Amino acid sequence: MRLVTLAPDLRVPALGQGTWRMGEVPSRAGAETAAIREGVALGLSLIDTAEMYGDGETETFLGKALEGLRDQVFLVSKVYPQNAGGARLERACEASLRRLKTDRLDLYLLHWRGSIPLAETVRGLEALVAAGKIRSWGVSNLDTDDMEELVEAGGAACVTDQILYNVTRRGPEFDLLPDLARRGMTAMAYSPVEQGRLPRTGALAEVGRRHGVSAYQVALAWALRRPEVIAIPKAATLAHVRDNRAAADLILSDEDLALIDAGFPPPRRKSALDML
């Protein structure tokens, strides 16, 4: 598994696991737990969640699903924007830690920008680092101008921006991804296969036929082609998580990439950052 450097002492797998809506249906908990644990065994040890997911239910689910594995995973969670400052930030972090049954988060993200000034959020996140409750911090759903403001507000220690990025959502390539790379920050791509809604015919299918893989595996390999991008697809079954892992080994040729570009053209102008 290719590793991506977040900070000098933080290297993570380029392919992790998303968990949106996991743990919300009790009858699925067994299969979801098995998928998460199999992913860790296969090297997909970065696990992403948020206090928003199931209003905390997903974090509670993960606290149980990851029992005995905490030291083998890189655990990421996200804070609501309304909780991202002052005492509320500390309380939100502590609540996530309790639900996840851990004493620290490896990475804590501002889920999206709200009304709390970025400078206040930065101060709170740095205080959590100093207290040992988080190892690093980042943001999610912030565009280029937001990132500029974040750095000006003292946020140069930000290690990643988690964004919606896939073959149908290529807007970040115009300026955000180059800007993050210039700052030495990674991009973490959520919904890298558009929650399973990508077309199953056309360029992705054609490239898949060449390699004997699915269109979704091609789309995931495409997202992983950039060295500064981490992808966090969700997989709720053993078969799905194994397919995702196989996609990390798929190398797309220049001809493959040209065909995908023809089917999903790269951006020619700035566009607003998409969110789900």
Q: Report if residue 272 sits inside a domain.
A: no
pLDDT of 64 reads 98
pLDDT band (50, 70, 90) for residue 201:
confident
pLDDT band (50, 70, 90) for residue 4:
very high
DSSP line for the chain: --EEEEETTEEEESB-EE-TTTTSSGGGHHHHHHHHHHHHHTT--EEE--TTGGGGHHHHHHHHHTTTTGGG-EEEEEE-GGGSSHHHHHHHHHHHHHHHT-S-BSEEEE-S--SS-HHHHHHHHHHHHHTTSBS-EEEES--HHHHHHHHHTT-TT--EEEEE-BTTB-GGGTTHHHHHHHTT-EEEEESTTGGGTS-SSSHHHHHHHHHTS-HHHHHHHHHTTSTTEEE--B--SHHHHHHHHHHTT----HHHHHHHHHHSPPPSS--PPP--
Q: Report if residue 268 sits inside a domain.
A: no
pLDDT band (50, 70, 90) for residue 8:
confident
Q: Report if residue 163 sits inside a domain.
A: yes
Q: Which of 53, 108, 165, 190 is catalytic?
A: 53
Q: Report if residue 209 sits inside a domain.
A: yes
Average pLDDT over residues 201-223: 96
Q: Report if residue 271 sits inside a domain.
A: no
Domain holding 51, by residue range, is 3-263
- Provide the mean pLDDT of the chain: 97
Q: Report if residue 100 sits inside a domain.
A: yes
Percentage of the residues of the chain whose pLDDT score is greater than 70: 100
The answer to whether residue 38 scores a pLDDT higher than 90 is yes
The answer to whether residue 274 scores a pLDDT higher than 90 is yes
Q: Report if residue 71 sits inside a domain.
A: yes
Average pLDDT over residues 99-118: 98
Whether 53 is catalytic? yes
Q: Report if residue 276 sits inside a domain.
A: no
pLDDT in tens, 222-248: 999 999 999 999 999 999 999 999 999
The answer to whether residue 1 scores a pLDDT higher than 90 is no
CATH number at residue 157: 3.20.20.100
pLDDT of 196 reads 87
Average pLDDT over residues 134-160: 98
Domain count, the chain: 1
